[in-house]
Structure formats: C-alpha cells, structure tokens
Amino acid sequence: MSDGSESTRRHQRVFELFTAAAGLGPRELREYLERECPDDSLRAEVAALLSVERARPPSGPSERLRVSVDVPAASAEEPLPVRIGRYRVLRLVGRGGMGSVYEGEQENPRRRVAIKVVNPGDSVASFLRRFEFEVEVLARLNHPGIAHIIEAGHYDDRGVVQPFFAMEYVEGVPITGYVAGRSLDTAQRLALFGEICDAVHHAHQRGVVHRDLKPANILVDADGHPKILDFGIARITDDKDETTRNTVAGQLLGTIAYMSPEQATGDAYVVDTRSDVYSLGILLYELLTGKLPYEISERRVHAALLTITGADPKPLTVIDPSIDSDLSTIALKAVEKERDRRYPSAAELAADVRRFLSHEPIVARPATTTYVLTKFARRNPLLVTSIVAGVVLVTTALVVALFALASARAARSAETAARARAERETAAVSAMNTFVLRDMIQAVSPVRGGRDMRLVDMLDAAIPRIDETFAEQPFIRDTVRSAIGGTYRELGLLKESERLLRAALPGLEQELGPDDPSVLDVRYQLMQCLDELEDDDGSLALAEHLYQHHSRAYGPRDERTLRMRGDRASMLVKSGQFELGLAESRETLEVSRAAFGPEHPRTSVAMRKLSECLTITGGFAEAEQLIRAYLATVEHTRRAGDPDILSAQALLSRVLLDLGQIPEAETLARAVVDSTTAVYGPLAGRTMDAKGALASLLGDTNRGESATGIYLELYQTSEAMFGRLHARSLFHQGEYAINLRKTGRLEEAERVARAALEGQIELHGEVDPDVAAANEVLSSVLYDKQDLGGADVYLTRALSIARQTIGTKHPRYADMLFNHVALLGRRGEYERAEPVCREMIALDTELRGPRHAFVAAGRNQLAKALVAQGCLEEGAAEFAESIAIHREVVPDGRFREYEALAQMGPVLTTLGRYPEAEAALLEAWNGFWSLNDGRRLARFDLAENLVALYERLGRSAEADVYRAYVGVR
Amino acid sequence: MDRQQTLALLVRFRGGDRAAEDLLLERVYAELHAIADRLFRKEGGSHTLQPTVLVHEAFLNLAGEGVDWESRTHFLCIAAKCMRRVLREHARARGAEKRGGGLRRVTLVDVGRDTGDGLDFDLEALDQALEKLAGLSERQSQVVELRFFADLSIEEAAQALGVSTGTVENDWRFARAWLLRELQQAG
C-alpha cells in the first residue's frame, strides 16, 4: 500500500479520516475529528477536503471534463520568414503534415528554389530525424523525372534553429489537372504515366520508396514532362537501420486514397516498392477514368481504411465501357490488395503499359473465379474460416445428400412416376445450390451490410427460410434440416444440432421408411450429437437401436454392423457399464480383425474405440499401446490431418497425460492444435476442442497460468463468433472462470463466474440446467475465496435448480451431489456430508445397479466422511466395499481400487489393524508402480503412510526404505 | 487500424503480453492524436472538447461495437493514459509557442445538468496535480485518470484496477476533493 514515506503515510491517514467521516453531521464531524485526530494540521486538511466536497459534491456519472481550445486565427497570417539560409523567401507555397514549403530565390546563381522547413510547433525529435533523413535520401537520386536537391542546412527561426533544405523549384501543374486541361488522349496519358513509372523505378533501384505518390506530388512542367516531388516520407529499403523506419508505426502519412492496403493498415515495416506500384496503379486508374477506384472521405479515416483494405475496385470498363479491357486488367493488377499479385516493379508496370501501346499481348491476366472466392474470404477476416468452412460444409453436405437420395430412389424404383419424382428432386439440388449461395453467402456479404454477421447468424437466418423455401417439398426441407443439423454439430453447437436432427427425422422416416440408410445416418448423427452433449442414456438408446437394426439387416460380421457395435460398446462404457462395454469393444476389435485383417480401416477404428473405452476405465497402458498401433497402421493409408488421425493423436495425448508422460503429451497436444488449425482453420470446432484439450493439459500439470490465455481466447473467439449470450460462449466463459480460480486469480474468477451466471440466467431464465452448472462454478470460486457460506449457497441453489429441471434421478444430479459432498467435507461438515453421500450412493445404485463403479466411488466418499467423523470401523468397511466393487467391475486399469486402498491404509493403521493396513498400502504401492503412475503415488502420501505404519510396528529398516520416497514426485 | 487486430492485441494484452500493450498504446495514442488534431486544426476562436468523447470515438474507430465489456475496459484504460498524454503534449507545445493559441483551460462540468458554473482550471495544473497525487497514492491518481479521461464507471474502474467498487468509490470521492482543493490552492 504505502512505500512508508512520511508524505504517503500522512496522505493515507487523511484519506482514512475523510472516508470514515463521510455522512457525519457538522457536530458529529467535529467530535469525530477531535477524538480521532489530535494533530491540528491533519484535522484542518480533512476538514478542508470535506468542505470542498460539500461545496461541489460529485454529481455522478454525468460529470465530465471539458477542455476548451483556442485555435489561433488562420495560420497564413503568420509573418513569412524573410530569409532562410541564403535564400530570400518569396511566398508560402504549401503547408503539410510535417513541413511547410516556401518559394525562395537564390541570388547567385539566380534561380528559384523550393524550400522545405519543419512546421513550427512540430519540432519534435522524430520529425527532425525524418527531415534530415529526407535530405540524405534525395541526394541519392538523380533523374529528370525527380525534383533534385540543392542544399540542406539550418536557419534561425525567431531564435530557434530549424533545419531546411532547398530543392529544384518545379513550375508545373499536378498531373491530373494537366491531363484534364489539355484533354490528352489515352495514348498520351499512358506515355506520361510510363515516364512517371521510370522515375519511380529509378528511385526504387536506389532503395528509395516514395510512399506518398499522388497527383499533388507529380507535377508536369512546361515541356510536358512529369517530375516527382517530395520524397519526404521515403525510406531506404536496403538499410535495416532502425532510423530508417522513422514513421511511427500506425501513424498514417501520405494521402489515404493512394495508399496501399499494407500501408493503410499502418504496418510501416512491410511497406516496400510494391506499395508504390499500388499508388501508381491508383494513379493510372484515375488518369484513365477520371475517378478514384474508391470513394474516400477523409473525415472518416477509419471507414476509408476499411474500404482500402476491404472493397474491390470496379473494373475500369464498368466506369467507362470505351476503355480497353486490357488496360483495365493492367490497372487492376497494379492495385491488387495482395502485393504478391501486383507487378513486382514499376518498370514491369511501365512495360505492360507500353506493350499495350504497341499492341502486344500484355502480361497481366484477369483474376480467376477461385481467386475471387478467396477474396471474399479475405474481406471477412474473422469469418474467413468459419464461413468458408461452414458454407463448404453445408453446400457439400446438401449436395451430396440430395444427389445420393435422388439417385438411390431413381435406381430403386423402376416405375416412371417414381423416377420422374426422383428427377424433380435432382433438379431441386440446383435450386438448393442457389439457396445456399444466394441466401447464405450473401447474408454475410459486406455489400449487404452484413460485415459483422456471424456464421451462426447466417445459419440461424437460413433456418426459417428453409421452411418457406421448401414448404411444398417436405422431403427436401427435412434433408436440408438434417444437413444443417450436421453443420451445427461440426461447429460444436450441439443443442441446435439436436433440435434440427430431431425435426428432420420423422419426415425422412415417413418418406423413406425406417430402414433407409439416410434415415439411419441421421439417427447416427443424432447419436453422436447426444454423446457429445453427454446425454449418455439418449445416445446409448440410439446406439442400441442402430446396432440391433444393422445386425438384423446385414448380419453380425458386416462392416456397418461392426461400426455400430463399436459405438454401442463406447456408449456402454460412457454410461458406466464398464465391464460389458469393454468386453463388447474387445469383441468388436476381434471380429473386425478376423473379418477384415489387421490393417483394414474398420479394424483401426475398432482399435481406436477400444482405446477410448480404456481411457475411461483406467486401462491407460493398454490404451497407449493400442493407439500407437492404430496410428502406425493408418499412417500409411491416410493423409496427415485426417480427422480420425487427429482424434487419435488427441486421445494419445490424454492417455500419456494420465500415464504421467507429460512432455510427450504436451508435444502431441500442441501438434494437434497446429494441425487442426492448419486443416480446419483457427475457428473451427475441432480446433477449439484441441485448444481446450491443450489448456486442460496445462491446467492438469500445474501450469494453469499458461492455459489462461487459451481459455480467454476460446471464450473471446466464441463470443465473437456466436455472440455473448450463446451457450458456447457462456460455456467457455465458465471454463475461463474455472481456470482463473485454479490459477488463484480469485477476484477475476469471481467476476467472470458471476458474469457467466448472469449470462446463463439471461439466456435461459433462472431454472435451467446450465444455470445450475454456472451456480456450481461460482460456488467453487467462492469456496476458494474462503467464502464457504457463499459457496454453499450457490451449490445448494444449483442442486435445487437441478431437482426442478433434470430431476433427482439424473446422472448430472449425482455429479452435483458428489461436489456437495466434497464441499461439505472440506468445510468439515461431515455430518451433513454423510446423508448426501448416502443419497448419492442410493441414486447411483438405482441408476447403475449396486455393483457399479460410481457406487464404488460414492462408498469411497462415504468412507472418508465416516473416517473424518471418527467412525473408523464403519469407514474402513465402506472402503473395503468400494474396493470390492472396483475389483468386480473394473477388470482392467485398477487405479481406482489402488486409490481406495491407499486411503484405507492409514485408517487401518490407526485402528491398529496392522496386517490389513500393510496389505492395503503395499498393494496400492505396487499397483501404482505397475501402472507407472508416480503422480498418484505422491498424491496419496503412500510413502509417508508406509513409513508411519512401519515405525509403529518398529520395523525401522522398512520405514527407511519408504522414507527415501517421501516427497518424491 | 484493423478492428480485429485491435481485438487480438487486447486479448494478448489481457494475457499479460507487454509488447501488445506497447502496440496498443501506440495505436490508441496515434488515433487520439489524429482525432484531437482534427479538432485543433479547426480555425477560428474557441471551442471545447470532451476528452471522454474523443476516447469513445477512438474506441469505435479502433475496436468497433460489439466488443465485450472486459476488452472495452482494458481499451479504455489504455486510452485514458493516451488521452492525458495527448492533452499534455498539446498544452505544452502550444504553451511553448506563447502565441495565444492552443488549449489551456479545463472545466469540470456536470453534463447532465449543465448549469454553466463548471470549475475552471489550467490543464497543465491539473496534470501536475495528478502527478503529485500519483506520488501519494498511485491508485487514487489512476482512478481519477480513468474517470476523467476515459469516462469509466465506478464498476469498470474497479474491474480495471482489480479492487472492489467500494475501494474505488472511496478513492474517487477523496481524490476528487483532494484535486479540487489542490487546484484551488494553485489558483
């Protein structure tokens, strides 16, 4: 707070007294100050400050500072300097952003000069440096098309030393005026333009970029030759010295209309000779059409910059149809936004112009259609990936789906009537294309003012139009629904996806029959969607349905059936039926291997599915082995960046993390982020998932700080894409809050968590499962802030909302109970924790059966609550029960069992049941070692507990053995 | 100049990237400078500007609408610093010229009910008083800077400084009284 110096201490004291005295009446104030503040001067100061406030109380948010500005009368009234150096000043020619130009006269030899000085009042160091630099640049140029320098020096401006330089005085008119005044024909204009290019090229060859080419700087003299003035903001391109980069980054110099996009974006570092080529292109455009390609008003600099960097210039032939299309092509090539697409030099621009004049074929080619499409993408930088990906996805999905359906039906039905209908539908595909292109792409076109429209808005806007457009064709409508539903899923917008897929199903089923492959595919997509929504029961039910159907339709060894069987097995594991799920998954792999051979894609997928299951049940080592085998198999057959490979790599990263092989896990996670970014773009759902996985890896390995940026980015990206009040944004906001909490930034965490909660309430109303989850997050933050009461309030609220929404029989409700148990435990409220534990166990028993892993976990919690209440015997019994269930239901990966053993051990030690304690602790110890799980070894203080046990037993040699491991991670 | 770039910089800045902060400062400063220049170049007599209006114009130009409130607050924090610097530089440059032009006076007015009895003081004096306050309590001077130059609400200032709103409220009440007294004493 205070640095301890006398004055800051005094200030702090005055502040405290002032603040404490707020709201006291005059007498109370006097009494208060006399009592609290014996020091007269201090008291006087506080009183004075209070009276200032009374005289002018702060008037709330409408109080503003207002600065009055006196602008001097027109600056032209300033007296002219009489002399500058050895020149007599004749008149002020012009005044620009960085200097004034006078016309002057030299006596010997007698000639007129242009004298450039720095504006008074702007004599800051950077301007001076630039000014002096300008002289040096100009001295290197010697070309009839470039005004040459005579002298550089300093002069005394009313006592201030000011630098100046004198240059050749060019008597002429700006090129545009000259051309218009003499009504030159096209060939004459082009010849003049060629000369300008030559002069610019001369400068470029000497490493000088003009950076401010515009008609005002290009005068045509009495002989009809152009001369370029004012290389004032040039920089030498071959000099890497910092001083040459003397344009403050981001500061706009030059005149906007002629400015290249790279210059307009203020990146002084990237401006090179091609920026001048751009300016020359604009000049050419103007010389030929009499117009600038963009309407630019300098009043709104920002809007102008957007235009330059965003809008495409009209072809010249549109403005004036008499202009030759080759000339249009030349000018447009010169003003390409990407400089690589421009002429590489002014000389080559001149050469193409001259080729045109001599009727030779020009080098420039009009832009291709593909290029135009990529330009659309570039204009919408934030949207680029999502839009393009989204549009491509939607279009492809629709076209493929419709063609497949139509042709399948045509093939199936021999009757003419049905074929005619199928053909009508094939025709509808092209209508569909138009729909996508017109209604969807144009919705985001900047021309329609949709610059800030997001992909989601686009899809949302398209959906009602589906109903309108295809009111007469319900079949097409439902096909489109299912395709867009699939797109939503790709984007990670699962609820929207679920809604559309469900809406599409009845119609498709009615039209095609329940066993049609397209219907089954939609069902399959819905299953994946529910899986991602963690609706385990819903997805399992669908998986069962699909598996049964395929099995009936195609037989057990069919590829399609096996795929469904594998998915069903995964769903079983996810819903907690570990044993059955694992067995099914293994079986699927075996059958696939037998039916198709070890390298068949079906077998690879089965392998990947099984490893997924193993990561859930804890069989990490086996999972690792399988995924590596899978990757080795698919490496030859698939491209890098294949979605299956990427998800396998992501999975391997998670497994390695669980196995404690952190560096490799991290390398892999980063590689997946890079690949998904490269393949799908930075904003794609998969990329965001990969980033989320990397962030959680960093968080899990105690590097949450490094993850904060990623969480923030995910949150901001989805906010930018989907809006603040969107489920996905709010989800990431919640994740961000959780990260802030974990990294100890509790104030921020609370703020973000509260904002997320408010957002959820705003979006869903008070009573909603997501609101319950947001309450849970806030509760955890408050807990960390030691606000245990607050934490309890919000978690209790979460539970109450959950009871009203998802009900007391829902797995999520069981999860919340689990958290409540943990909170109560940490509050030391074991008595309250115990019944919640029992409710949780009862619920899990009901949901999953008595011999289920979740029940085992609940018994584990109950055991801890009992032990903490001193019921050691009962606690030990619950531990034992939990371990027994684990042994039954989790045949592989026994880490949960070892965890329970590790916790039961010290309880048994305390109870004096030493042999059991020893057995439990040693089994846990050996178990964790066999799993190569050093992290858990440390977490449960196993070494410490073994040491304690052996010391009690007086077996000090064994105690010493384990003592060596204490604190080892 | 590109809004997305500004947003990206804000994100990096929030992630603790110092280089991004520098770039933002530069960018915001240049923009405010340009806006102020346009106003100052208007010829003829005397007119007034509100720093907070300039700051919001800069915000719209550089970041645009639809920016989340946290990014906006961060932006405004940076803009407050820049705005103060722009005004200070103008005051000094014009003052040095001693030719009568430039901006001199600062008035604290209640825009909501403009009674015309705003408090007048010298811009440089305000700047110096703020410097002095910074020496006594960095945070109080920051609170004033954020309120005066970027129009942050109490809640936003609290968020920006990572303290409670109560703290900002007390700081603001006190610092405001302290400044007014300081400026009255300076004459």
Domain boundary residue among A169, A191, A214? Answer: A169
Closest CA to B76 of B142, B167, B160: B160
More confident residue, A583 or A293: A583
Closest CA to A264 of A306, A232, A213, A293: A306
Average pLDDT, integer, range A399-407? 51
Average pLDDT, integer, range A539-566? 89
A322/A333 same-domain check: yes
The Cα–Cα gap between A309 and A245 comes to 22
A157/A214 same-domain check: no
Residue of A nearest to B92 (CA): A121
> What is the CATH number for A126?
3.30.200.20
The C-alpha torsion from A221 through A225 and A226 to A228, rounded to 10°, is: -80
> What is the CATH number for A228?
1.10.510.10
Q: How far, in Å, are A125, A252, A951 from residue A716 at the CA level?
A: 40, 29, 55
What range defines the domain where residue B3 resides?
1-100
Contacts of A264 in chain B (CB under 8 A): 1
Helices A325-334 and A346-357 cross at an angle (nearest 10°) of 180
Mutate one of A19, A66, A713 to test the B interface: name it (highest B CB count within 10 A).
Answer: A66
Interface contact B1-A716, CB threshold 8 A: no
Contacts of A382 in chain B (CB under 8 A): 4
**pLDDT reported for residue A67:** 66
Contacts of B63 in chain A (CB under 8 A): none
Average pLDDT, integer, range B39-64? 69
Name the minimum distance, in Å, from the CA of A785 to any CA of chain B.
14
The Cα–Cα gap between A863 and A61 comes to 57
Say yes or no: B22 contacts chain A, CB-CB below 8 A: no
B94/B33 same-domain check: yes
**pLDDT confidence bin for A616, thresholds 50/70/90:** confident
**pLDDT reported for residue A796:** 92
Residue A581 contacts residue A567 (beta carbons within 8 Å): no
Closest CA to A584 of A596, A573, A595, A594: A573
Residue with the two structure tokens 């080098």 = A363
Number of domains, chain A: 4
A232/A333 same-domain check: yes
B95/B16 same-domain check: yes
- Is the pLDDT at A587 greater than 90, yes or no? yes
Residue with the two structure tokens 């933002």 = B24
Average pLDDT, integer, range A937-945? 77
B152/B124 same-domain check: yes
Contacts of A452 in chain B (CB under 8 A): 64, 66
Contacts of A301 in chain B (CB under 8 A): 34, 61
More confident residue, A149 or A402: A149
A200/A335 same-domain check: yes
Residue A148 contacts residue A138 (beta carbons within 8 Å): yes
The Cα–Cα gap between A238 and A369 comes to 37
Given CA atoms A823, A828, A829, A833 in this order, what sign does their dihedral have? positive
B53/B118 same-domain check: no
**pLDDT reported for residue A136:** 66
When CB atoms are compared, the residue of A70, A250, A302 closest to B100 is A70
The Cα–Cα gap between A777 and A749 comes to 9
Say yes or no: B92 contacts chain A, CB-CB below 8 A: no
When CB atoms are compared, the residue of A52, A264, A724 closest to B181 is A52
Does the residue A399 lie in any domain? yes
Does the residue A344 lie in any domain? yes
A461-465, A481-485, A768-772 — most confident range? A768-772
B2/B54 same-domain check: yes
A155/A196 same-domain check: no
**pLDDT reported for residue A119:** 52
What range defines the domain where residue A382 resides?
374-490
Q: 3-state class of A737 per DSSP?
A: helix
Say yes or no: A12 contacts chain B, CB-CB below 8 A: yes
Mean pLDDT of all residues in chain A?
Answer: 76
More confident residue, B65 or A628: A628
Residue with the two structure tokens 């099995």 = A551
Q: What percent of chain A has pLDDT over 90?
A: 17
The C-alpha torsion from A796 through A801 and A804 to A807, rounded to 10°, is: -70
A200/A331 same-domain check: yes
A391/A470 same-domain check: yes
**pLDDT reported for residue A458:** 59
More confident residue, A594 or B20: A594
- Is the pLDDT at A322 greater than 80, yes or no? yes
**pLDDT reported for residue A426:** 52
**pLDDT confidence bin for A933, thresholds 50/70/90:** low
B79/B130 same-domain check: no
Domain boundary residue among B77, B100, B123? Answer: B100
Say yes or no: B44 contacts chain A, CB-CB below 8 A: yes
Does the residue A500 lie in any domain? no
The Cα–Cα gap between A24 and A29 comes to 5
Domain boundary residue among B37, B66, B100? Answer: B100
- Looking at A618-726, list the stretches that DSSP marks H as alpha helix, in order from N- to C-terminal side: 620-637, 643-658, 662-680, 685-700, 704-722
When CB atoms are compared, the residue of A69, A73, A121 closest to B103 is A69
Can you spell out the DSSP letters for A465-496?
Answer: HHHHHTTT-HHHHHHHHHHHHHHHHHHT-HHH
**pLDDT reported for residue A76:** 41
- Looking at A533-577, list the stretches that DSSP marks H as alpha helix, in order from N- to C-terminal side: 536-554, 559-574
B60/B44 same-domain check: yes
Rg (CA), chain A: 38
Domain boundary residue among B53, B70, B100? Answer: B100
Which two tokens mark A46? 């506080």
Interface contact A71-B43, CB threshold 8 A: yes
A242/A346 same-domain check: yes
Number of domains, chain B: 2
The Cα–Cα gap between A913 and A916 comes to 6
Q: Count Cα atoms within 13 angstroms, Cβ side, for A14.
A: 26
Name the minimum distance, in Å, from the CA of A49 to any CA of chain B.
6
- Helix and strand tally (H, E) in chain B? 8, 3
**pLDDT reported for residue A759:** 92
Interface contact B48-A265, CB threshold 8 A: no
Say yes or no: A19 contacts chain B, CB-CB below 8 A: yes
Poorest-confidence range of A55-64, A292-301, A495-504, A559-568? A292-301
More confident residue, B52 or A778: A778
A288-292, A321-325, A572-576, B165-169 — most confident range? B165-169
Average pLDDT, integer, range A517-526? 85
Poorest-confidence range of A91-100, A626-635, A767-776? A91-100
Closest CA to B125 of B180, B83, B168: B180
Q: How far, in Å, are A527, A829, A836, A894 from residue A502 at the CA level?
A: 11, 45, 37, 40
B39/B52 same-domain check: yes
**pLDDT reported for residue B70:** 76
**pLDDT reported for residue A370:** 36
Name the minimum distance, in Å, from the CA of B47 to any CA of chain A.
5
Domain boundary residue among A367, A390, A423? Answer: A367
Spatial neighbors of A90 by CB under 8 A, at least 6 apart, are A102, A103, A104, A105, A112
Does the residue A695 lie in any domain? no
Tell me whether strands A172-174 and A160-168 are parallel, antiparallel or unpaired. unpaired
Domain boundary residue among A367, A396, A415? Answer: A367
> What is the CATH number for B179?
1.10.10.10
**pLDDT reported for residue A1:** 46
- Is the pLDDT at A693 greater than 50, yes or no? yes
B125/B57 same-domain check: no
How many Cβ pairs within 8 Å bridge chains A and B?
A: 183
More confident residue, A465 or B35: B35
- Is the pLDDT at B14 greater than 80, yes or no? no
A91/A180 same-domain check: no
B60/B151 same-domain check: no
Does the residue A854 lie in any domain? no
Does the residue A22 lie in any domain? yes
Which two tokens mark A558? 């069919």
B108/B173 same-domain check: yes
Q: 3-state class of A895 per DSSP?
A: helix
A114/A205 same-domain check: no
Interface contact B123-A67, CB threshold 8 A: yes
- Is the pLDDT at A705 greater than 70, yes or no? yes
Does the residue A348 lie in any domain? yes
Give catalytic residues of A, as residue numbers. Answer: 212
Tell me whether strands A160-168 and A111-118 are parallel, antiparallel or unpaired. antiparallel
A273/A358 same-domain check: yes
When CB atoms are compared, the residue of B99, B107, B170 closest to A19 is B170
A2-16, A374-388, A781-795, A800-814 — most confident range? A781-795
Can you spell out the DSSP letters for A21-52?
Answer: TTT--HHHHHHHHHHH---HHHHHHHHHHHHH
Closest CA to A277 of A262, A267, A265: A262
**pLDDT reported for residue A842:** 92
Burial of A653 from C-beta contacts in 10 A (0-12 / 13-18 / 19+):
buried
Say yes or no: A15 contacts chain B, CB-CB below 8 A: yes
Interface contact A66-B108, CB threshold 8 A: yes
B81/B166 same-domain check: no
Closest CA to A347 of A143, A164, A501, A632: A143
Residue A753 contacts residue A745 (beta carbons within 8 Å): no
Does the residue A254 lie in any domain? yes
Name the minimum distance, in Å, from the CA of B128 to any CA of chain A.
16
pLDDT in tens, A407-443: 555 555 545 555 555 555 555 554 554 455 445 444 4
A318/A440 same-domain check: no
More confident residue, A835 or A448: A835
- Is the pLDDT at A250 greater than 60, yes or no? no
